């Protein structure tokens, strides 16, 4: 069994926050002691390799604070940087139900990853630009009466909170988005090593994702699915309908375009076609349906669901 070491997280009064918005990342609860594992066989190494099926419980129930001490989404987590802080890539904002609002991205790759996570039923919340720092160094600085500068605070691209079948507690998976052509550069290797060392201290897992992780075709399909449900506010109100509609679509023998199939099956529920598309996308969000991304999602093409051949 791997030896476990004690790590203390809590007080952040020694941090130097130049951006007023970063002050919301300060932890105000008392010092709490956590156990961290040095075992390299972490439970999640590659998020996309998770097999089987799961259904997302919505709204999710997660602790108000994670083991690192940062707030959960529904406990008013705020990103450490906004989109304007980006020096590379094309920054912007994208709406995420799992982030409870608009979240910043600093490149097209980050946007692509956030949207893919939005439709991954293992992921229950998404936090971007997550502040991280060397806790031991912070303690030394505070003991000397100083404050840690903003330049010493890393911001991790994405922290995804996972609910895995059979696991009572949530798992935290850190994702660094980097173009494949830059991953092997020494400076990026050093950065990723620092990130892994930092997050392993609180039992999070770490993964580097590139543009190869989510193809342009899959990204386009994901955008279309989320567009179908863009006006949905309370997803929990549609859970039963999404489950029933998913079961009907899995059983149907209707052939033709996606538009034709959804139109006919929607009428069985006394829904118009727009409602059918909305609930079709919610069923994907919750995990009742999964699109086969070997095929492009388009209303004039066949419906291609994972595990079901037409």
Measured CA to CA, the distance from residue 139 to residue 9 in angstroms comes to 10
* Same domain? 92 vs 119: yes
What per-residue confidence (pLDDT) applies to 167? Answer: 86
Q: What is the mean pLDDT of the chain?
A: 84
Tell whether 296 is covered by a domain: no
Residue 293: partners with Cβ closer than 8 Å, 6 or more residues away: 215, 217, 218, 221
Residues 134 and 279 placed together within one structural domain of the fold: no
Would you state the pLDDT for residue 84? Answer: 74
Residues 50 and 187 in one domain: yes
In a domain, 187, yes or no: yes
* 193 found inside a domain: yes
State the first-to-last Cα distance of the chain, in angstroms, to the nearest integer.
Answer: 48
Q: Per-residue pLDDT tens for 31-48?
A: 222 222 333 444 445 888
Say if residue 64 is in the same domain as residue 175.
Answer: yes
Across the beta sheet with 123-132, what order do the strands follow? 123-132, 154-162, 171-177, 205-209
Query: Is 127 within a domain?
Result: yes
> What's 39's domain CATH number?
3.40.1350.10
Angle, CA of 66, 67 and 71, to the nearest 5° = 25
**Which stretches of the chain are DSSP H helices?**
108-118, 135-143, 186-200, 216-228, 239-251, 258-268, 273-286
Tell me how far apart the alpha carbons of residues 70 and 25 are, in angstroms, rounded to a whole number.
Answer: 7
Rounded distance between C-alpha atoms, residue 5 and residue 200, angstroms: 11
Q: How far is CA 124 from CA 2, 99, 299, in A?
A: 29, 9, 28
Task: Verify that 94 and 195 share a domain, yes or no.
Answer: yes
How is residue 117 written in tokens? 């996570």
- 32, HSE (Cβ side, Cα atoms, 13 Å): 14
Do residues 94 and 224 both lie within one domain?
no
Domain boundary among 209, 242, 271: 209
The pLDDT score that the predictor gives to residue 307 is 81
Tell me if 310 is assigned to some domain: no
Which of 157, 179, 209 is the last residue in one of the domains?
A: 209
**DSSP output for 49-110:** G--S-----SS----SB-TTSPBPGGGT---SS-GGG-SSS--EEEEETTTTEEEEESSHHH
130 and 255, same domain (yes or no)? no
CB 268 within 8 A of CB 284: no
Cα–Cα nearest to 254, from 267, 272, 243, 241: 267
pTM summary value? 0.83
Decide which of 160, 194, 209 is a domain's last residue. Answer: 209
User: pLDDT per residue over 271-292, tens digit each?
Assistant: 999 999 999 999 999 999 999 9
275 plus 181 within the same structural domain: no
C-alpha 32: how far from its chain's center?
A: 26
Q: Which helix (H) or strand (E) holds 205?
A: strand 205-209
The lowest-confidence range among 20-34, 62-76, 192-206, 268-282 is 20-34
Instruction: Indicate whether 174 and 243 sit together in one domain.
Output: no
Are residues 25 and 172 located together in one domain of the fold?
yes
167 with 267, same domain?
no
Q: Domain total for the chain? A: 2
Whether 234 and 195 share a structural domain: no
32-46, 177-191, 231-245: range with lowest mean pLDDT: 32-46
Q: Could you tell me the residue range of the domain that residue 85 belongs to?
A: 4-209
Does 256 reside within a domain? yes
Q: What average pLDDT does this structure show over 132-161?
A: 86
């Amino acid at each position: 069994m791997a030896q476990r070491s004690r790590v203390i997280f809590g007080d952040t009064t020694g941090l130097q926050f130049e951006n007023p918005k970063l002050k919301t990342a300060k932890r105000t609860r008392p010092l709490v002691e956590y156990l961290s594992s040095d075992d390299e066989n972490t439970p999640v190494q590659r998020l996309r390799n998770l097999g089987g099926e799961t259904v997302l419980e919505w709204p999710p129930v997660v602790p108000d604070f994670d083991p690192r001490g940062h707030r959960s989404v529904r406990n008013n987590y705020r990103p450490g940087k906004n989109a304007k802080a980006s020096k590379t890539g094309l920054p912007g904002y994208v709406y995420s139900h799992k982030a409870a609002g608009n979240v910043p991205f600093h490149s097209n790759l980050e946007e692509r990853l956030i949207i893919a996570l939005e439709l991954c039923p293992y992921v229950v919340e998404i936090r971007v630009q997550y502040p991280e720092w060397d806790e031991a160094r912070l303690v030394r600085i505070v003991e000397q009466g100083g404050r840690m500068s903003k330049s010493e605070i890393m911001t991790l691209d994405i922290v995804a909170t996972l609910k895995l079948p059979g696991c009572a507690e949530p798992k935290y998976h850190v994702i660094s988005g980097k173009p494949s052509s830059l991953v092997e550069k020494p400076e990026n290797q050093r950065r990723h090593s620092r990130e892994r060392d930092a997050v392993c201290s609180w039992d999070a897992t770490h993964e580097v994702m590139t543009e190869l992780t989510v193809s342009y075709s899959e990204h386009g399909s994901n955008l279309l699915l989320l567009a179908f449900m863009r006006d949905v506010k309370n997803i929990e109100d549609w859970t039963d309908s999404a489950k029933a509609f998913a079961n009907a679509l899995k059983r149907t023998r209707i052939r033709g375009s996606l538009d034709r199939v959804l139109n006919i099956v929607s009428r069985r529920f006394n829904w118009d076609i727009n409602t059918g598309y909305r609930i079709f996308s919610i069923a994907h969000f919750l995990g009742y349906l999964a699109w086969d991304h070997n095929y492009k999602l388009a209303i004039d093409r066949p419906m291609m669901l994972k595990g079901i051949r037409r």
